[in-house]
Amino acid sequence: MPLKIRVKPEDKILAGGAVLKNVGKHPADLLVLSDGPVLRERYMMNRNRQGDSDMSNVYFLLQVIYLFKGKDKPMDNLVLETIRNFAKLYPVYESETKTIIELLEKKETFKALRVARSMLSENGESPIDPAEARSV
């Protein structure tokens, strides 16, 4: 099913392995016709942010699974085990981690990434580096 996405001026998206940037002064409407990962800039976590916290490590792993279509790959089990361990260390996030695991098992990786993003937000973190963030 095609995905219609609006990209604000100067915003970036990652689509199928390519980073695209709207260099115009107006929003751009794009229609993604193939089944590939699409990720807005505000969801992208750079590798240098990955070690900021245990939660950012979980987020980064989910991002990798989503972007590289990790369905039924050996790394999937490692990610699930890491998330289960995270839940043991941080029981306050038991509900969210359970939801993430259920979504991953249903192959709904982007929805799992959204749950992890909301966990980061609740913890005062962001996937993107604050120094790179700009006011929109």
pTM summary value: 0.77
**Residues of the chain where predicted confidence (pLDDT) is lower than 50:** 130-136
Per-residue confidence (pLDDT) for residue 32, from 0 to 100 = 86
In angstroms, what CA-CA distances link 69 with 62, 74, 76? 10, 12, 10
Per-residue confidence (pLDDT) for residue 135, from 0 to 100 = 36
Contact in structure between 98 and 116 (CB atoms under 8 Å):
no
List pLDDT tens digits, range 32-67.
Answer: 888 888 888 888 887 666 667 888 888 888 888 888
In angstroms, what CA-CA distances link 28 with 3, 8, 74? 14, 6, 38
Residue extents of the structural domains in the chain: 3-43, 47-122
